Amino acid sequence: MKILYFGSVSDDEWFDEVSSKKNIPSQVAQYMFEKALISGFSENENIDLQLYYLYQEQYYPKGGYLRFKKRIKKFNNKYLVRYLSNLNLPLIKEIYCFFQGLFLTMKWGFENLKNDQKIILTPFNYTPLSLGVYIASKVLRIKRINIFTDLSSDIMNTKRQKDMPRFKKYLLPFYIKLVEFVEHNYDGYVLFTKPMNDRVNPSGKPYIVMEGIFNNDLDLSKVTKSRSIMYAGTLAFEYGVKNILDAFEEIKDNELELWLFGDGDMREYIEKLVLRDKRVKYFGFKPRAVVFEYEKKASLLINARNPEDEYTMYSFPSKTFEYMVSGTPFLTTNIKCIPEKYLKYLYIIDKSDIHSIKKGIEVILAKPDWELDEIGKRARNFILENKNSSVQSKKIVDFIFGIINR
């Protein structure tokens, strides 16, 4: 089977360079997902992948002017990743991406014209590129599948609109319609949450739900526990992080620490809190392996997004799998994106207010060590057995075959 793939997977050297400069957890999460996916594909000898990497950054001069001229690198000792060039100027960038998607898809399609076992797979919907791919795929009658790790509709986010260039704000209503048109016209959908289907798949095309993939490339050895609570990920007010901080401050335990990893719009607030409460430790943005060691050491991992926020229906928290594999108990609000089968491996609170978080922390930390160890082990085994790259990528491969032969 031939697969044309446009995504965010890159060689490790480039990823380390980019992530150390940009410090954007969401892009790291996207990369880790795609790396696990492609690693799973590489186990199947019948899959021939042609990979293209699209690097997205701010316009010049905040970002580079020209990227990836003739850059080709090896990935996973099996596939070559071809890096798309990028003229990083307003409007020119979008037009350039459109024609790249159109040309590369036409080229690949003609090269594989006689092969009826082929498909186009994308792990995100970047509309300028996707539109070019869409037009070429219709001309050549090639089916397309998109993996929705989240929704493109976050372009409606007020904060993002505020940072947009003026010409983008003027074009936004038209652009949103274009986004929806592309989203609604795939031949198959791989979704991270079931409610996504109502938003992106109004025609009722085939779909599967998979929440994510865990790539087991971390050290799972046991470590000595520390009396600490930990949050790792995007440090944003909208993700309920402030309520975690406020709840922690109300806990009168001088031995208990709060560890925070990541970056976001709360960084300045957290840096001031660290000066006021010496129990709060802010580590910033660290490599995944380093963060995982702290996750193993912590007494409790926490995520407290507001279950009433609509976005929680359409976004499965990327840290969930890693938290569960750490073997450390995980306290989370009962957000709508978490399937019921996960709940027996987690500690759940129904609300994200300060009182509920504080009470949840205190109740869990008062439990005997054997109980905490047991739920941590069961959570780890559930992810390692059911959500690893081999199992999850096979689900997608089987789904792809179904779409091709439909």
* Whether 213 contacts 392, CB under 8 Å: yes
The CA distances from residue 191 to 42, 57, 102, 199, 207, in Å, are 22, 25, 25, 11, 7
The CA distances from residue 298 to 222, 240, 313, 327, 376, in Å, are 12, 20, 28, 10, 12
- The pLDDT tens digits along the chain (406 residues) read 999 999 988 777 777 776 665 545 557 788 889 999 999 999 888 899 999 998 777 666 666 666 666 678 888 778 888 888 888 787 888 899 999 999 999 999 999 999 999 999 999 888 999 999 999 999 999 999 999 998 876 555 555 566 666 766 777 788 888 889 999 999 999 999 999 999 999 999 999 999 999 988 889 999 999 999 999 998 999 899 999 999 999 999 999 999 999 998 999 999 999 999 999 999 998 888 999 999 999 999 999 999 998 888 988 988 999 999 999 999 999 999 999 999 999 999 999 999 999 999 999 999 999 999 999 999 999 999 999 999 999 999 999 999 999 8
H or E element in which residue 389 lies = helix 389-404
Domains and CATH numbers, the chain: 2-213+388-404 (3.40.50.2000), 228-386 (3.40.50.2000)
Q: Quick check: helix, strand or coil at residue 235?
A: coil
Distance CA(22)–CA(31), nearest Å, equals 13
Distance CA(177)–CA(137), nearest Å, equals 20
Rg of the chain over Cα atoms, rounded to whole angstroms, equals 22
Distance CA(278)–CA(169), nearest Å, equals 43
* This model's pTM is above 0.75: yes
- β-pairing, 79-83 vs 86-87, is unpaired
Count other C-beta atoms under 10 Å from residue 220's C-beta: 12
